[in-house]
Structure 1
Amino acid sequence: MTRDCDGDLPVLAFLQRAIDGTLSPDDTTHLTYPTPISRLLGFELVGVSERAAEVRFVADVSRHGNQQGTLHGGMLCELADAAMGTAHSTAIVAGESFTSLDLDARFLRPVWSGPLIARARCTHAGRTISHYACDVLREDGKPVASFTSAILTLRGDAATGR
């Protein structure tokens, strides 16, 4: 495995080590993992491969609910965005960054509480714009929502400070 000139691991290798418990305190990558928002919301990365990721979240309607008493749709959007962003980050090298261009949501059934898995995968890998799809599933495997997103890879000055 090749590290970059700063000694950082590629994102995919870093995340795989984090999942399998072999990440050492000296292992670093050029992006921040886990992200602050993922820590705040309790998201857990449970699977990762090239341009694909699975993120687990335990929904609790008493903490994440809306006025109807179901899980707030914004939580599902954030979960899917985290999974798709993580999937795309596996293709990002030092000196690059990325940003979502859009997020399209289709809500399929209500959720109250319990574990959810967001499974993100790349549907088109472009040099600049890539497309992702993500399904959010209940513990019983039934889909709760499906999402798509276009993600823009930034390079050079456009990536600086992002």
Structure 2
Amino acid sequence: MPDTSRYLPVLTYLQRQLTGQLGAGEVTHMHYPTAISRLLGFRLVEIGEAMAVIELDADPAQHGNQQGTVHGGLLCELADAAIGTAHSTLMEAGETFTSIDLKATFLRPVWQTRLRAQARPTHRGRTISHYLCEITRDDGKVVASVASAVMTLRGEGAQGR
């Protein structure tokens, strides 16, 4: 059983990480940055209680689909990362969470641009919370709107996750 007394709250950890003030040996019970975020080049640029903003420099040469635009799956992953990061700020040691649904509405095509995914809750429940994430390109236009429900897991349900 890990020593949870030394864990920083997730929000504190992410705020310190973002500002470069994370001390040596300071940890939280979750993994940041996540492996998928590192692989895809996502950057956390803003964090608060139940909210997160993540950016990505999108390029169809790296992230493209058959039509030559940025793949919609990348937009879903970007939104899921922002929503998951936002929800993680509410987690205490011994708690974790899982997405239980995700619905994406694509509004505009994306080519080479900086994408900004901003996630916020629309309903915060004890077990089920709902989030909305809007993804904008660098001209400020919304390219996708993603809604997701997230379930908080506690006790036995959180073990090993």
Q: TM-score, normalised by structure 1?
A: 0.96
Shift, 1:53, TM fit: 0.1
Distance in 2 separating the partners of 1:86 and 1:5: 20
Match of 1:140 in 2: 139
- Cα RMSD after superposing both structures: 0.9
Q: 2:150 is aligned with what amino acid?
A: I
Distance in 2 separating the partners of 1:41 and 1:32: 16
- The secondary structure found in structure 2 opposite 1:77 is helix
Distance in 2 separating the partners of 1:6 and 1:79: 32
Match of 2:119 in 1: 120
Percent identity at matched positions? Answer: 61
Match of 1:75 in 2: 74
Moved over 6 A (4+): none
- The secondary structure found in structure 2 opposite 1:112 is coil
Shift, 1:25, TM fit: 2.1
CA contact (8 A) 2:29 2:93 kept: yes
Match of 1:8 in 2: 7
Shift, 1:148, TM fit: 0.4
Distance in 1 separating the partners of 2:23 and 2:73: 34
Shift, 1:137, TM fit: 0.4
Aligned residue-pair number: 159
CA contact (8 A) 2:4 2:29 kept: no
Shift, 1:114, TM fit: 1.6
Match of 1:31 in 2: 30
Distance in 1 separating the partners of 2:160 and 2:122: 28
Q: Which residues of structure 1 form unaligned runs of 5+?
A: none
